Structure 1
Amino acid sequence: MNKKEEDAIIQGQSMIMQHLQSFLIGVAIRCAIEKIVDIIHNRGVPLTLTHIAHEINSPTLNLDGLSRLMRFLVRKQILDEVHEPECNEPLYVLNYCSKWLKHDERNSLAAFTMWMTHPDSTSNFLGLKQSIIEGDTAIQKTYGVELWDFVSTNPQYNRIFNEGMACFTWSTMDAILSSYEFHGVKGTSVDIGGGIGTAINDIVTKYPHIKGINFDLPHIISDAPTYQGVTHVEGDMFKAIPPANSYLIKSVLHNWDIILNPRGDGVFDDACINFDIIMFMACNIGGRERTEDEWKAILEDAQFNSSKLSRFLRTYPLWKLTMIDASKRV
């Protein structure tokens, strides 16, 4: 074996170890969200470990454990460490990654992260092999029911799920509304699978001539707040949907059969591949992320006119967004 092959083998071992331990990043980010990020943000200045420990204010705090967590977060580039001559300790500060983890911010992924890293969300991932070999979803293999049934019968998880979905919507709607014109939308518009109504409320707020309907399952609507100009309607889109002049379907169709670019090297292409596996494990009727050609084929099969596909990437919010305009053939 030559030196190049030896180096490649060692590199392969290192990659496997990193992948196996990657779950620790989600766990550490969850810890950071629950206390650390907001402490640093609220003080508005870089903080030492001593200051952070004081703000946590726990009589049983393990300072060594906190120090090692901070070192891990810095290593993973979730926090930055800075040094000042007059301070004997390193100082910790938020960076462009951790700024997405602040609570009570419109452009935040805190609630989405708390849902993704919740034990009830992660435990069903272990059913991936069974799902592939035996059929059904990973969540069915773990809990004996499908995702929407599990959510509907677990009020605490339902709340966490709804908050996570709303958080994800907040982080995309600014880009949608700044890049897409809704002036041509007339009459009533229904957001199908609209969660607690975040998206349709944002649209109606900017375009008050639109009458908004937020349509989703009863246990989702039960958590929805009241919005001016928006009516919440309970129902099942596979049985009937409210009549309207236009329909919005955002981050919904991938649940049942984001433009996917499997060989892409864009900033979010890896995340799309990750979501595709999540869709496979969680959604029981062909959930998946799709390529542009696959979306076009679906629209063609459903007898929609040629679609207009718009892409836009914003500094805020997080996603490389794609919108598809399509009208039903007459």
Structure 2
Amino acid sequence: MVKGQVAIWRYLFRFADSMVLKCAVELRIADIINSYGQPITLQKIASSISRSSSLDIPSLARIMRLLVRRDIFAAYQPSEGGETLYGLTYASRWLVTGFESNLASMVMMQSHPLLLATWDCIGQCIREGEMPFKKAHGVEMWEMASKNPSFNKLFNDAMECNTKTVMQAILGAYKDGFEFVGTIVDMGGGTGGMIAEIVKANPDVRGINFDLPHVVATAPAYPGVEHVGGSMFESVPAGDAIVLKYVLHTWGDEDCVKILKNCRKAIPETLGKLIIVELVLQPEGNGPFDDIAAIFDVMMFAHQPGGKERTELEWKNLLAEGGFPRYNIIKIPSLPSIIEAYPN
């Protein structure tokens, strides 16, 4: 009974961990410590945040105490009576915005009030069969992004930082997967960060970044990459291979089949393939990302109409119905896996 009570208390206050993590990103604590190149005192952190006399240093100390307990930062006592020094850990390294791969923008997006509000609607939406994001805001996320430039930027920044993280794993574990490919279409490619990295690593490849018009409108120019606006439900630019990173998990099965059939029309009968970068749920798995994948599955329910993560069997059935009877799953050192799918 005591263990059960402890478990409920722990899960009850998980939101506090998220909010304190957001606080660390907002105050740029990881960036500040990293700029010194070594552990530093609380006073140095505080003075780098603000030189205002109103800065609440005692409360900052309490925030740091929790972050140290969560292994986000490390605390060192250099000598008896000396000031505590705070340093980076493997976790807080992912909050340093100066590093190419970081998750700071993802922290800011997932802790944004617009997304947090959707979680409050889950119970009601299960009872009434509605979609939490639309229940909370009256519109779906894509419509919100198209009408709200600041939210659109927040979303694009989060997707870009996640793309950089995943791309390291893809280019390391799947570098041979882009051989013999002339044109690659990144469908739902956002502002083009992923296809730009693929083209950079494979200079002979022509890249097409395909997404909604309001998304590609803010995309920067990249060598060897063409930005194309449109709807994946209408048609897809032709290519030898099509990449879909975190696209299909935002849609229900019926919509995914439509997307897959459009992809099937856009690639060659022979040698054409899909490169799907998505989670493969392992409901009983105990791998390093399996618990996070289960959380992602509920998050997709909260944020997207019909959105969900899928098991291998679900992927197999979905791909077959969409015109891709053959597939191969490649695990990479990241949250998603690579699913190669072939039309024959």
Aligned-pair CA distance for 1:303: 2.5
Please tell me whether residue 92 in structure 1 is matched to residue 113 in structure 2. Answer: no
Aligned residue among 187, 193, 196 for 2:188: 193
Please tell me whether residue 56 in structure 1 is matched to residue 56 in structure 2. Answer: no
SS at match of 2:226: strand
Write the mapping of 1:118-129 to structure 2, written as runs, cut at 5 A. Answer: 118-129=112-123
Aligned residue among 15, 38, 41 for 1:45: 38
Distance in 1 (alpha carbons) for counterparts of 2:14 and 2:329? 35
What is the aligned partner in structure 2 of residue 178 from structure 1?
172
Aligned-pair CA distance for 1:87: 6.0
Identify if the C-alpha distance between structure 1 residues 250 and 239 changes in structure 2 by more than 3 Å, giving closer, same or farther: same
2:20 partner letter = A
What is the aligned partner in structure 1 of residue 323 from structure 2?
303
Identify if the C-alpha distance between structure 1 residues 42 and 87 changes in structure 2 by more than 3 Å, giving closer, same or farther: farther
SS at match of 1:326: strand
Please tell me whether residue 214 in structure 1 is matched to residue 209 in structure 2. Answer: yes
Distance in 1 (alpha carbons) for counterparts of 2:304 and 2:11? 25
What is the aligned partner in structure 1 of residue 161 from structure 2?
167
Distance in 1 (alpha carbons) for counterparts of 2:322 and 2:46? 58
What is the aligned partner in structure 2 of residue 226 from structure 1?
221
Aligned residue among 322, 325, 329 for 2:340: 325
* Conserved 8 A contact 1:311-1:320: no
Identify if the C-alpha distance between structure 1 residues 139 and 321 changes in structure 2 by more than 3 Å, giving closer, same or farther: closer
Please tell me whether residue 243 in structure 1 is matched to residue 264 in structure 2. Answer: no
Aligned-pair CA distance for 1:136: 2.5
* Conserved 8 A contact 1:131-1:281: no
Alignment RMSD: 1.3
Deviations 1:193-250 (A, max 9, x none): 0111111111111111111100011221122111010011111101111122221111
* Conserved 8 A contact 2:326-2:343: no
Aligned-pair CA distance for 1:45: 1.3
1:301 partner letter = E
Q: Give the gaps of 5 or more residues in structure 2.
A: 253-278
SS at match of 1:325: strand
Please tell me whether residue 291 in structure 1 is matched to residue 311 in structure 2. Answer: yes
Distance in 2 (alpha carbons) for counterparts of 1:56 and 1:209? 46
Identify if the C-alpha distance between structure 1 residues 227 and 289 changes in structure 2 by more than 3 Å, giving closer, same or farther: same
Aligned residue among 240, 249, 252 for 2:247: 252
Aligned-pair CA distance for 1:186: 2.4
Identify if the C-alpha distance between structure 1 residues 97 and 132 changes in structure 2 by more than 3 Å, giving closer, same or farther: same
Q: Percent identity?
A: 40
Aligned-pair CA distance for 1:308: 1.7
2:98 partner letter = D
Deviations 1:40-80 (A, max 9, x none): 11011111111211221233111111111011111111111
Identify if the C-alpha distance between structure 1 residues 283 and 78 changes in structure 2 by more than 3 Å, giving closer, same or farther: same
Distance in 2 (alpha carbons) for counterparts of 1:279 and 1:68? 33
SS at match of 1:249: strand
Aligned-pair CA distance for 1:300: 1.5
1:30 partner letter = K
TM-score, with structure 1 as normaliser: 0.92
* Conserved 8 A contact 2:73-2:87: yes
1:41 partner letter = N
Deviations 1:262-314 (A, max 9, x none): 11111111110110001111111x2111111111111122231321211122x
SS at match of 1:233: strand
Write the mapping of 1:262-273 to structure 2, written as runs, cut at 5 A. Answer: 262-273=283-294
TM-score, with structure 2 as normaliser: 0.88
What is the aligned partner in structure 2 of residue 5 from structure 1?
none
Aligned residue among 140, 149, 152 for 1:155: 149
SS at match of 1:248: strand
Q: How many pairs align? A: 315
SS at match of 1:108: coil
Identify if the C-alpha distance between structure 1 residues 87 and 173 changes in structure 2 by more than 3 Å, giving closer, same or farther: farther
1:54 partner letter = S
* Conserved 8 A contact 1:182-1:207: no
Distance in 2 (alpha carbons) for counterparts of 1:191 and 1:115? 23
Aligned-pair CA distance for 1:183: 4.1
